Structure 1
Amino acid sequence: MAPAGRRRPLTQDTSSRHDPELRSAARHFGRRRFLTVTAAATALAFGTNLPARGAAGPGELDGARIPTDPFTLGVASGDPLPGSVVLWTRLAPAPYEPGGGLPGQYVAVEWEVSTDEFFALTVRRGTAVAFPEYNHSLHVEVEGLEAGRVYYYRFRTGAWISDTGRTRTAPATTAAVAKLTYAAVACQAYHDGYFTVHRHLAQDDVDVVLHLGDYLYEYAVDSVGGARNYTDRKLPDLYNRETKTLDDYRLRYALYKSDPDLRAAHAAHPFVVTWDDHETENNYAGAISENNEPEQEFLLRRAAAYRAHWENQPLRNAQMPNGPDAQLYRRFQWGNLAQFDVLDTRQYRSDQAYGDTLHAPGPETDDPARSITGAAQEKWLLDGWRASQSRWNVMAQQVCFSQRKFDLGAEARTSMDAWDGYRASRRRVLDGADSAGVENLVVMTGDVHVGYAFDIKEDFDDPASKTLGTEIVATSVASGKDGADRPGNWDTYHKANPHLRFYNGRRGYVRVALDRTKARADYRTVSAVTKPGASITTAASFVTEAGDPGLKPV
């Protein structure tokens, strides 16, 4: 085990971790002892002169000259506000090639929004520019829409027309909303199986989808797609390596977004996305890499990962990275029914305690100087709760919030990568919710590749203590392969964690229906992802009543 608070020593060769320009720049800033690593990585900008917003770029490529369909990665929408939504696409006629098969020229792309799927009643239209510096991605922030209604959208360049997407705006913040249905997904390792879960999600009737992280994985994908075991295609060798550079991350997003099931889910619903670790690197903490690499090297990698993430998600310009930094935490309202506080528990966290292993709680986990959110985000969260007028307060985040013991006995181990490794941080958040008068707290979680339902206790070691809220953990879309309804540690986990109400190891998603009196969670699971086409079922359903936290089976 590594010394407390330290990571494993670096055991792999990093000589080719970055392209020559980045390695040279890293050495340059190292020699100058660069005053802030963040400023250094920002200044690099990956050798790309980013265009000023609205600039004309290095010369136009007429869309009519693109010989094959450039909309191979589909369309997406996200971050719905009253009267506004973000529309996304990326031009990539050859998605598995660097640059997507387009030259370094900008492309003008028309977009339109309609109240009907046949575009007989177009209400907004315009032209956006797909710059090569942003990998020909588009983020159109459409304004002036009606609050709380469904719209359809599409893109066009030359003779090519994209798929039609369906989206919706949020209700007015003061609207007396009666109900809301949302889904939560996480952890979609391409190499572990098909995205069958997304196909079923696309056919479900939900208002919005929360993606809670691990949208992609940095690990190598072999020529047959890992567990997908393709016999009708061969993936390029460039995928059979871990993502390290900007091109690596861009290409990995192209692989994931070319999946037809994921494309269908994005086209059907607006998404609100946040990241966890694998969008960058497993179990990183702030500026500290999994293998304790030099900070300047890791921040260059983080900058590449963050930029590719923004380029490939329906995010607003406010979330555009500045080098290795990006403000991903943000807040959404669904009338006066629900407030969504979307967290980032990776970028600002203290290093994991006790060498980032499973470990019993100790002085480090209770150190008030350590944080999983960082001080600024924690203050933002608590201030938002104090100002909230919503019936339900939904905290959308990444890693298990409730205590989760892996063993029986006084020295039971917990995860140092989850909130159990930052118990003082969790205590401040729970005390802040209580001080703010938050009565109906729902924590949405991903990360662990299983479905859990927890009662959030005032004292997790005292089952009789007050219940403060509900945690709903979405299992993975594909990570962990097929899984099992009853994992081998099922009995131990239930005995060690009396506040655990449900535990299932299949793949799937969670559908949550909120109204004025209750929240209902349906755990939707599939029998397999290593073969396509599995049917879906509801493994369990629970209800928590407004004003009476605690889960009850339906």
Structure 2
Amino acid sequence: MTENCDPHRTGPASPTRRTVVTAAGAAAATAAALPLLTPGPARAAGQDPRSDTGNPVFRHGVASGDPLPDGILLWTRVTPVPEALPGSGAGPDTPVRWEIAEDEAFTAVRASGTVTATAAADHTVRADVRGLRPATTYWYRFTTGGGAAAVVSPTGRTRTAPADGAAVPGLRFGVVSCSNYEAGYFAAYRHLAARRDLDAVLHLGDYLYEYGTGQYPARPVRAHLPAHEILTLGDYRMRHAHYRSDPDLRALHAAHPVIAVWDDHESANDAWSGGAENHDPATEGDWQRRRANATRAYFEWMPVRPAAEGTVFRRLRFGSLADLHLLDLRSFRDRQAAAGDAAVDDPDRTITGRAQLDWLTAGLGASGARWQLIGTSVMISPMAFGSVPSYLLRPIAECLGLPSGGLALNTDQWDGYTADRRRLLRHLHAGSLTSTVFLAGDIHMHWANAVPLEAATYPHSPAVATEFVVSSVTSDNVDDILGVPPQTVSLVAAAAIRAANRHVSWVDLDSHGYGVLDLTERHTQMDYYAVSSRTDPGATARHLRSYRTAAGRPGVERVSDPVR
């Protein structure tokens, strides 16, 4: 994104100027096809005093993702010898056995196999398991060695998707975005990990951040590794590993399958197909090489199946109830225009790329599912800002990626690519695809929006979809920038935003937290949660608000209680 709430960033008009913020991801070739680039120096992957797993071989935990009716993708990383640190390129090839069972005691093992952890893949291993039963909870684990030397990983829990076309009474997903390690602790992940009612967790981008220590935020709660801004393959690997030193992140992955897309910070801030706002070729080398590094590390460390051309756009189906269309809004987009530039309306400029937009509209039109969920990394609803008081304009502008002058345009979001947005929304309207829900993160705020066909005349013109946006897990929002208690001065700005945007039912500018999305045949509901503090590893969570949309009736209505 145009870096969320970063007080030091420059605007999109100067994308080659070095700033104190960086990265997020995109890619052009599959991880397997990428060359092995020179890794950076080896470093230990853990400074968090809570990060010791007690298992030196499987110290980065286990994970699963991308559930299918008959399968699931399993992941782990092994440290076969002490010197085989992430990003080091050191350590021997190591056979790793995996098992998946229908009970936690592993008395009913349904599939097993062996894969090899190699230094070439940073000793990460993936098993794309098939032949499982749909809509079934499974437990899985990994083992190295044999006999008395055998080492067993922590046990993970996962779940397959419902059978294609099957009647499904309901689905429930956790929804998260924007987890900056240095900005605080991942209590939101801990609270989602503790739930046993989720089919999966959707991570909508900025899973990690690429900055050097103290660049964003300026006063870190805890330090990440490596300390410098990440550029090389070894750097990106090490940063992924250090994020996995967090016990709450490991717990989330062990508890639920994760369905992830990337935004920009997985590679570099305001990434586009040919560069990034925070990448300077003169001092940081070739952008495509850096992006290849970021992409390769992402597919090594994340339980994500690479899609076409090594990107993350793909489609998952959940019986007859929902199709989930996941978008890659970094790999194919044109460079961001300057705020206020008429180029935002140029019909030849794209955020999706023509092939991806065609894939999306064709899939929407062909789907027979009750709900169409579109997972995006940036908000599609248009934004205008009216008369926000000057003392609040700066932090609002920083969170939304606007110049401090407050131009009503965030060109890193769909507002900067209006032709693509118009094409997609007109397709929804023409096809009467009225049970479409966009899911987004990126801007460190909770939002509940109707998505209007024509924002200027809404509500006299129709809404064609609904959008639920979740706040950050830890990344800075308005109260953090101002240094004030949450839900105080920002309430003035929230009221001004709603007054200028009649399609916005609610916006919370301050809370860190997560969402829980519940789907039935009749309704889709988002429950918004906030954690009590991002600086407290034991932070509690509380329900803030809930909004739902009725099938066939785009828009949102407030409901009093979260789903049970």
Do the aligned residues in 1 keep the contact of 2:87 with 2:233 (CA within 8 Å)? no
User: What displacement does 1:490 show?
Assistant: 1.4
Residues 485-524 of structure 1 correspond to what in structure 2 (within 5 A)?
485=487, 487=490, 489-504=493-508, 505-524=510-529
- Cα distance in 2 between the residues matched to 1:351 and 1:85: 36
Given residue 171 of structure 1, which amino acid in structure 2 is its aligned partner?
P
Q: 1:304 aligns with which of 274, 288, 293?
A: 293
Q: 1:352 aligns with which of 319, 331, 336?
A: 336
Do the aligned residues in 1 keep the contact of 2:99 with 2:112 (CA within 8 Å)? yes
Partner-residue secondary structure (3-state), 2:294: helix
Residues 198-347 of structure 1 correspond to what in structure 2 (within 5 A)?
198-204=189-195, 205-221=197-213, 229=221, 239-291=226-278, 293-294=280-281, 297-316=286-305, 318-319=306-307, 326-347=310-331
Say if 2:549 is the partner of 1:544. yes
- Cα distance in 2 between the residues matched to 1:4 and 1:74: 39
Do the aligned residues in 1 keep the contact of 2:142 with 2:153 (CA within 8 Å)? yes
Q: 1:383 aligns with which of 345, 359, 362?
A: 362
1:105-155: CA deviation from partner (whole Å, max 9, x where unpaired): 210001100001111111111111111100011110001000111100000
Percent identical: 38
Q: 1:413 aligns with which of 393, 408, 411?
A: 408
Given residue 525 of structure 1, which amino acid in structure 2 is its aligned partner?
A
- Cα distance in 1 between the residues matched to 2:297 and 2:374: 25
| Aligned match of 2:427 | 432
Residues 19-168 of structure 1 correspond to what in structure 2 (within 5 A)?
44-46=35-37, 69-92=56-79, 98-99=85-86, 103-158=90-145, 159-168=150-159
- Cα distance in 1 between the residues matched to 2:427 and 2:152: 49
Say if 2:378 is the partner of 1:399. yes
| Aligned match of 1:184 | 175
Sort the Cα spacing of 1:124 and 1:353 in 2 relative to 1 into closer, same or farther, 3 A.
same
Sort the Cα spacing of 1:439 and 1:71 in 2 relative to 1 into closer, same or farther, 3 A.
same
Sort the Cα spacing of 1:68 and 1:162 in 2 relative to 1 into closer, same or farther, 3 A.
closer
Do the aligned residues in 1 keep the contact of 2:67 with 2:73 (CA within 8 Å)? yes
Do the aligned residues in 2 keep the contact of 1:95 with 1:255 (CA within 8 Å)? no
Sort the Cα spacing of 1:70 and 1:177 in 2 relative to 1 into closer, same or farther, 3 A.
same
Given residue 321 of structure 2, which amino acid in structure 1 is its aligned partner?
L
User: What displacement does 1:43 show?
Assistant: 7.3
- Cα distance in 2 between the residues matched to 1:84 and 1:97: 30
TM-score between both structures, scaled by the size of structure 2: 0.82
Say if 2:352 is the partner of 1:373. yes
- Cα distance in 2 between the residues matched to 1:191 and 1:529: 10
Q: Judge which range, 374-383 or 496-505, deviates more.
A: 496-505
- Cα distance in 1 between the residues matched to 2:84 and 2:93: 18
Given residue 200 of structure 2, which amino acid in structure 1 is its aligned partner?
V
Do the aligned residues in 2 keep the contact of 1:514 with 1:520 (CA within 8 Å)? yes
Query: How many residues of Structure 1 are paired with residues of Structure 2 in the alignment?
Result: 494
- Cα distance in 2 between the residues matched to 1:173 and 1:95: 45
- Cα distance in 2 between the residues matched to 1:372 and 1:426: 9
- Cα distance in 2 between the residues matched to 1:536 and 1:84: 32
Given residue 510 of structure 1, which amino acid in structure 2 is its aligned partner?
G
| Aligned match of 1:7 | 14
1:335-365: CA deviation from partner (whole Å, max 9, x where unpaired): 01000000000110011011xxxx34x5311
Residues 433-512 of structure 1 correspond to what in structure 2 (within 5 A)?
433-463=428-458, 464-480=460-476, 483=480, 484-485=486-487, 487=490, 489-504=493-508, 505-512=510-517
Do the aligned residues in 1 keep the contact of 2:382 with 2:415 (CA within 8 Å)? yes
Given residue 422 of structure 1, which amino acid in structure 2 is its aligned partner?
Y
- Cα distance in 2 between the residues matched to 1:281 and 1:9: 12
User: What displacement does 1:176 show?
Assistant: 0.9
Given residue 210 of structure 1, which amino acid in structure 2 is its aligned partner?
L
The list of structure 1 runs, each at least 4 consecutive aligned residues, that deviate by more than 4 angstroms after superposition, is: 2-6, 41-44, 93-98, 225-230
Sort the Cα spacing of 1:222 and 1:228 in 2 relative to 1 into closer, same or farther, 3 A.
closer
Sort the Cα spacing of 1:222 and 1:97 in 2 relative to 1 into closer, same or farther, 3 A.
farther
Do the aligned residues in 1 keep the contact of 2:214 with 2:220 (CA within 8 Å)? no
Do the aligned residues in 2 keep the contact of 1:191 with 1:226 (CA within 8 Å)? no
- Cα distance in 1 between the residues matched to 2:82 and 2:320: 42
Instruction: Note the residue ranges of structure 2 that are not aligned, 5 or more in a row.
Output: 1-8, 21-27, 40-53, 389-405, 481-485, 560-564
Do the aligned residues in 2 keep the contact of 1:98 with 1:247 (CA within 8 Å)? no
- Cα distance in 2 between the residues matched to 1:202 and 1:443: 24
TM-score between both structures, scaled by the size of structure 1: 0.83
- Cα distance in 1 between the residues matched to 2:245 and 2:11: 42
1:279-320: CA deviation from partner (whole Å, max 9, x where unpaired): 00011111222156449701110000000000100123x449
- Cα distance in 1 between the residues matched to 2:321 and 2:128: 25
User: What displacement does 1:99 show?
Assistant: 3.7
Return the structure number with greater relative CO, CA threshold 8 A, min gap 6: 2
Q: 2:538 aligns with which of 510, 533, 543?
A: 533
| Aligned match of 1:197 | 188
Do the aligned residues in 2 keep the contact of 1:137 with 1:311 (CA within 8 Å)? yes
- Cα distance in 2 between the residues matched to 1:527 and 1:4: 32
Do the aligned residues in 2 keep the contact of 1:94 with 1:101 (CA within 8 Å)? no
Do the aligned residues in 2 keep the contact of 1:72 with 1:95 (CA within 8 Å)? no
Sort the Cα spacing of 1:97 and 1:475 in 2 relative to 1 into closer, same or farther, 3 A.
farther
- Cα distance in 1 between the residues matched to 2:531 and 2:171: 24
1:56-90: CA deviation from partner (whole Å, max 9, x where unpaired): xxxxxxxxxxx962111111000001111000001
User: What displacement does 1:227 show?
Assistant: 5.8
User: What displacement does 1:495 show?
Assistant: 1.5
User: What displacement does 1:94 show?
Assistant: 8.2
Sort the Cα spacing of 1:212 and 1:3 in 2 relative to 1 into closer, same or farther, 3 A.
closer
User: What displacement does 1:546 show?
Assistant: 0.7
User: What displacement does 1:11 show?
Assistant: 4.7
- Cα distance in 1 between the residues matched to 2:228 and 2:15: 21
